[in-house]
Amino acid sequence: MPNILDKIFAEKQKELAGTKRNSPLSQIKQRIKDQAPVRDIFKTLDEGKCATKIIAEIKRRTPFKGELRENFNALEIAAEYINHGAVTLSVLTESNYFGGDIKILEAVRAIASVPLLRKDFISDEYQVYESRAYGADLFLLIATRLDQNQLADLLLLGKELGLSALVETHDEWDMEKVFHAKANLIGINNRDLTNGKTDLDIARRLIPMALQEAGNTLVCESGISGREEIEEFEKLGAHAFLIGESLMTAKSIPEKLKMLLGNDDSKSTSQS
């Protein structure tokens, strides 16, 4: 029986057929010519090495938790993130399960000077061109769902367009695929996308494995809600943290970011 991740990818493929008819690749390539130069995610994550780097995520809902925030306003959320210390923004653009839209990415691009990650379920070259055309500086690839050749091909196309790819892993087999594909921006997702369960032991296992390859930049994803967790994973070697739910559900995004960044005296892992 298909799991939720299989269903999302299958529906994305059906949706993509219509998208290609409505916006042919030739049009998408034309849009790319109007985009500003790509912002360098590696430079962003390298600057001020002592400081915690947070990639703050904009997402309306999830298939596991439902709606995450009342009166969702992507531009207001983006502004709060940028003004209170996030160095990069992740924009969920999948519509059926997460309530996103590629046009949200475009709108955020207009107000954000920081790098933007397009987070979606990408398996087709068209989506890489589309990411660049709507203002992304990097895009997500999910190693669990892509074979080694797909992963390598999509990474190469991104590189040709000037885009980095955050390649997301969830287990040792994913990490081996990443090594073979020569990806060096690696996400370690503590959430099992087939059932929504979160386990921080995944990062505890995979961070040391990822660091066996010199030069990798590691992003710890999912399940991070407090400063103590960030400090633990920074000591293990994580370079940045992609945080969505705990920010989207916080009563005060500025206060939550302040706590996560270590700019207050709180060591609480509870949500603001």
Radius of gyration of the chain, Cα coordinates, nearest whole angstrom: 17
If phi > 0 it is left, if psi is from -120 to 50 it is alpha, else beta; for residue 192 that is beta
Strands (E) across the chain are located at 54-58, 61-62, 66-67, 88-92, 116-119, 138-142, 164-169, 185-189, 217-221, 240-243
Active-site annotation holder among 12, 53, 59, 256? 59
Rounded Cα gap, residues 121 and 2, in angstroms: 16
The residues, any chain, with a CB within 8 Å of residue 18's CB and separated by 6 or more, are: none
CA-to-CA separations, 220 to 54, 85, 169, 206, in angstroms, rounded: 10, 17, 10, 10
Kindly state the helix (H) or strand (E) to which residue 246 belongs, with its residue range.
Answer: helix 245-248
Tell me, yes or no, if 43 is annotated catalytic: no
Parallel/antiparallel/unpaired status of strands 61-62 and 66-67: antiparallel
Tell me, yes or no, if 33 is annotated catalytic: no
Rounded Cα gap, residues 252 and 92, in angstroms: 21
Active-site annotation holder among 123, 164, 190, 222? 222
Active-site annotation holder among 130, 168, 229, 245? 168
Tell me, yes or no, if 130 is annotated catalytic: no
Tell me, yes or no, if 189 is annotated catalytic: yes
Tell me, yes or no, if 172 is annotated catalytic: no
Beta pairing partners, 89: 56, 116
Neighbouring CB atoms inside 10 A of 70's CB total 5
- Residue 223: name the closest of 251, 250, 191, 252 by CA: 191
Active-site annotation holder among 189, 190, 225, 246? 189
Strands (E) across 160-213 are located at 164-169, 185-189
The residues, any chain, with a CB within 8 Å of residue 92's CB and separated by 6 or more, are: 57, 58, 59, 60, 98, 99, 100, 119, 120, 244
Active-site annotation holder among 12, 53, 119, 256? 119
Active-site annotation holder among 80, 94, 130, 221? 221
Catalytic residues: 57, 59, 119, 168, 189, 221-222
